[in-house]
Amino acid sequence: MSGRVLLVGASGQVGAQMLEYFHQTRGIAYAVPTSREAANRPGWLPLDLASIDATSAKQLLQPYEFEAIYCVAGMTDVERCQSEPEQAEGANARGPAVLAGYARSLAIPFVYFSTEYVFDGDPARPGPYPENAPTHALSVYGRSKLDGEVAVTKAHPAALVVRTTVVYGPDERGKNYVYSLMRNLAEGRRMRVPADQVSTPTYNRDLVRATVGLVELGATGVVHLCGPELLSRIDFARQVAQFLGLDDSLLDPVPTSALGQKAPRPLDAGLATDLLRQQYPHLQMRTVAESLRDCEEVLHAFRRNLPLAQSSMAVR
C-alpha cells in the first residue's frame, strides 16, 4: 500500500500525539507505528533505534511503500544518557542516521527530532537561540542529539531537523513534567523546581501539527519549533498548578545546582522561532494558557483519579 508514513516511536509522548493526529486526519491505516515493545500491539513494527542497522532496516521496511519517515523516538532521559553514553549515541545518532539513509534511498522526506540541549544556555550567551547560533552541548544527551543532527543530515541532506524543548500536553503514559507536577501536588508533596532554567515550553499537539505541516510544505534543514513564551521552570510550574486548582505554595524554587543531577542543564536557553514565523506565518504555536485550555478535559480527568492530600482542593 502506498501513501503511508512510518512513525518511529509512536508509544512516546509526541509519537502518540502524532499517531492520534494521523488517525483523525488521514485514517487509521495511514501511519505505520513502531515501538521497541511492539509484540503486544497488533499492526505495530518492532524497531529499536539503538540496535538497528542498514540490513535490518531494509528487511523490516521493504514490504511497505512509505511517503515519509518521522523519527520521533530517541533516548530522552537526560540522566540515563549521562550514565549510558553508548546507548544514547545509538538511539539518538546512529539509529536515526540508518533510517535517514533508507529514506534517502526512497527519495522521501525524513524528520528527526532534536532539542535545545544542543546549546549551553550560558548567561554570557543566552537564548532564545536562532537556528544558526553556535552549538555547545553540555550533556551526553545534548551531544548525542547534536551528533544525530549531523549524522542524519549527512545520510539525507534534505532531512528536516526539528529542535524543540520542554514538551508538555496530553500524555497517555503520564510521564511528562505536567503529570509529575499533578501527582506531587495532588498528593500534597512538596516539589523542588529549578528557578534558574529558562526555556520556551512547547505544546505537544502544536508540535505535531506544525511538524506535519512543514513536511507537507517541503521544509528541510534545521527548524526551531516551540511555544512563543520564554518562561522559567518555576513560572511554568506555577501556571500549570494554578490552572488545575493545585496548591502552588508546594512548589519550592531552587537553583539547578541544588538538585544533585549528574547531567548539566542549559540555564538561560530557549529557542527562537523568527525563521519559522517568517517562512511559515500560518503555523501558530499556542501559549501555555491557551494550550492548557485546549487539553484541560484530559488533564482534569487525570487529576480527578489521583489520590488527594488531606487538605484537598476542589477540582474545577
Please identify which of the residues 70, 102, 141, 203 carries the catalytic annotation: 141
Question: Is the separation of the CB atoms in 154 and 143 below 8 Å?
Answer: no
Question: Strands 167-168 and 202-203, how do they pair?
Answer: parallel
The grid coordinates of residue 72 equal: 520521533
CB atoms under 10 Å from CB of 133, counted, come to 15
- Taking each continuous run of H as one helix and of E as one strand, the counts in the chain are 12, 13
Contacting residues for 50 by C-beta, under 8 A, at least 6 apart: 75, 87, 90, 91, 94, 95
Is 141 a known active-site residue?
yes
Question: Is the separation of the CB atoms in 11 and 35 below 8 Å?
Answer: yes
Question: Strands 31-35 and 4-8, how do they pair?
Answer: parallel
Consecutive H or E run containing 181: helix 177-186
**Which of 75, 112, 104, 90 has the alpha carbon at shortest distance from 222?**
112
CB atoms under 10 Å from CB of 307, counted, come to 9
Q: How many residues does the chain have?
A: 316
CA pair distance 126, 230, nearest whole angstrom: 12
Question: Strands 198-199 and 231-232, how do they pair?
Answer: antiparallel
Three-class secondary structure of residue 48 per DSSP: coil
C-alpha torsion angle, residues 116, 268, 234, 182 (rounded to 10): 10
Exposure pattern of 271-296 as b/e (b: 16+ CB <10 Å)? Answer: bbbeebeeebeebebbebeebbeebe
Active site residues: 141
